[in-house]
């Protein structure tokens, strides 16, 4: 593998190498050799895209800026919603499915299915990486984001937060790389490739959307973890935008737009390996624009909910039920003690307020046990699915 890339050449195609295949099981191998990819080093490469793609990238950044400027005073409500929406959509791209109620239970610390706990881990990793990215992204930050994502997986938890030490591949046989769609580089190459990618992530001379597109595609090509690569790779997009100042207080739920065009997304990431950068830049720019616009729609809907609820509930203006309506967009999952604390009433009045709002359809119970009961504002949680549907069918 060459250690030098001509800075005038753009991002070159991946190379490959033939390696002997030795099955870990010790059984007779179905193949004797396999071809592993060798991604190029990109830390210093000049990324060249056409005028139209660059204009789309800049327009996407403007849409994100409008979203933040318009709803800056709503960050306490919108940021958790956007993080939740992004993690749910990113997990759906990998066919890791959960419901918003199951995720709410996992986030609240209530017993929930493994898939919901995994999505919670994705939210935790996304939040961690974005928070750390302001001054630049280090390898330790990427490893730390991977850790909560895989921590609850019975097979993968041992490798959580670690670069892989085994060969992996995408598609084909479970036993060997035979027929695989993509065989990432051998594990011996991963540390150097990741060090190069970290250097690339710290650049400031590229358009932020172009920067994120190349960084994400390169990360997916390296595939540095045994599992969770797609979700961590998409997390890098928002982390990089925080570092570059494209966002300051909000995440962009770009995966919500990607999930609606999942097959195109995978195809364009694969095409990057042949040196095709511009199509993926254009795709990411379009997904970002649409996600930012729909996030603004959701922000307006969330802001309007308390007034709509008051019309439905028709309780006294000084009641605990009405006081609770104003805080539910920021605290959509509550138990009786939460309601008492948030509204300043007794536990008995808190239960009465919950019952009133449950009867009105504002709250729904998300637990089965009567010992640890919790409720959720369904309109707030369901907006994540509504937003994805708007992107899919709009």
Q: What is the pLDDT of residue 304?
A: 96
Q: How confident is the model at residue 121 (pLDDT cuts 50, 70, 90)?
A: very high
pLDDT at 3 (0 to 100) = 39
pLDDT above 80: residue 107: yes
| pLDDT confidence bin for 318, thresholds 50/70/90 | confident
> Residue 7: pLDDT above 80?
no
DSSP state of 207: -
Angle at 99 between CA 97 and CA 100, to 5 degrees: 130
Yes or no: say if 149 and 232 are a contact pair by the CB < 8 Å rule.
yes
Domains of the chain, with CATH numbers? 49-296 (1.10.3290.10), 314-384 (1.10.10.10)
Cα 345 from chain centroid? 38
pLDDT at 215: 98
What span, in angstroms and rounded, lies between the C-alpha atoms of 362 and 328?
Answer: 10
Tokens 């992107």 — which residue?
A: 391
For the chain, percent helix, then strand, then coil, each to nearest 5? 60, 5, 35
- Please, which contacts does 126-132 make with residues 24 or more away whose CB atoms are closer than 8 Å? 126/83, 126/86, 126/87, 126/235, 126/238, 126/251, 127/83, 129/235, 129/236, 129/238, 129/239, 130/235, 130/238, 130/239, 130/242, 130/251, 132/239
pLDDT at res. 26: 65
The pLDDT of residue 5: 39
| Per-residue pLDDT tens over the stretch 169-227 | 999 888 889 989 999 999 999 999 999 999 999 999 999 999 999 999 999 999 999 99
133: which DSSP letter?
G
Residue (of 384, 390, 386) closest to 91 by Cα position:
384
- CA dist 389 and 257 (Å) reads 10
Q: Which two tokens stand for residue 374?
A: 């919790």
Quote the mean pLDDT of the chain.
93
Can you give the pLDDT at residue 8?
35
Find out whether 198 and 224 touch, Cβ atoms under 8 Å.
no
């Amino acid at each position: 593998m060459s250690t030098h890339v001509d800075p005038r050449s753009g991002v070159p195609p991946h190379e490959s190498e033939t390696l002997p295949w030795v099955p870990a099981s010790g059984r007779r191998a179905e193949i004797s050799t396999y071809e592993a990819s060798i991604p190029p080093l990109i830390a210093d490469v000049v990324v060249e895209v056409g005028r139209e793609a660059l204009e789309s990238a800049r327009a996407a950044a403007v849409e994100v800026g409008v979203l933040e400027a318009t709803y800056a005073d709503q960050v306490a409500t919108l940021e958790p919603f956007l993080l939740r929406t992004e993690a749910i959509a990113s997990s759906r791209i990998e066919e890791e499915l959960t419901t918003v109620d199951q995720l709410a239970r996992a986030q609240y610390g209530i017993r929930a299915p493994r898939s919901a706990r995994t999505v919670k881990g994705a939210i935790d990793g996304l939040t961690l990486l974005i928070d750390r990215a302001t001054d630049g992204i280090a390898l330790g930050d990427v490893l730390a984001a991977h850790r909560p994502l895989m921590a609850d997986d019975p097979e993968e938890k041992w490798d959580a937060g670690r670069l892989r030490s085994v060969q992996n591949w995408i598609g084909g046989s479970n036993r060997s790389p035979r027929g695989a769609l993509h065989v990432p580089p051998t594990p011996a190459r991963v540390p150097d490739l990741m060090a190069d990618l970290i250097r690339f992530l710290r650049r400031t001379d590229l358009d932020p959307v172009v920067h994120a597109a190349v960084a994400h595609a390169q990360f997916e090509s390296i595939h540095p973890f045994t599992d969770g690569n797609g979700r961590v790779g998409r997390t890098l997009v928002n982390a990089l935008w925080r570092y570059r100042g494209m966002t300051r207080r909000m995440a962009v739920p770009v995966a919500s737009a990607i999930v609606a065009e999942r097959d195109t997304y995978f195809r364009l990431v694969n095409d990057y390996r042949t040196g095709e950068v511009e199509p993926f830049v254009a795709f990411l720019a379009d997904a970002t624009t649409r996600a930012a616009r729909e996030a603004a729609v959701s922000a307006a809907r969330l802001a309007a909910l308390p007034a709509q609820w008051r019309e439905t509930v028709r309780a006294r203006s000084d009641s605990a039920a009405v006081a609770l309506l104003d805080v539910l967009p920021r605290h959509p999952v509550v138990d009786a003690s939460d309601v008492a604390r948030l509204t300043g009433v007794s536990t008995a009045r808190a239960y009465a307020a919950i019952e009133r709002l449950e009867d009105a359809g504002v709250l729904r119970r998300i637990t089965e046990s009567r010992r640890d009961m919790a409720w959720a504002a369904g309109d707030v949680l369901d907006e994540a699915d509504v937003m994805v549907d708007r992107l899919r069918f709009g």
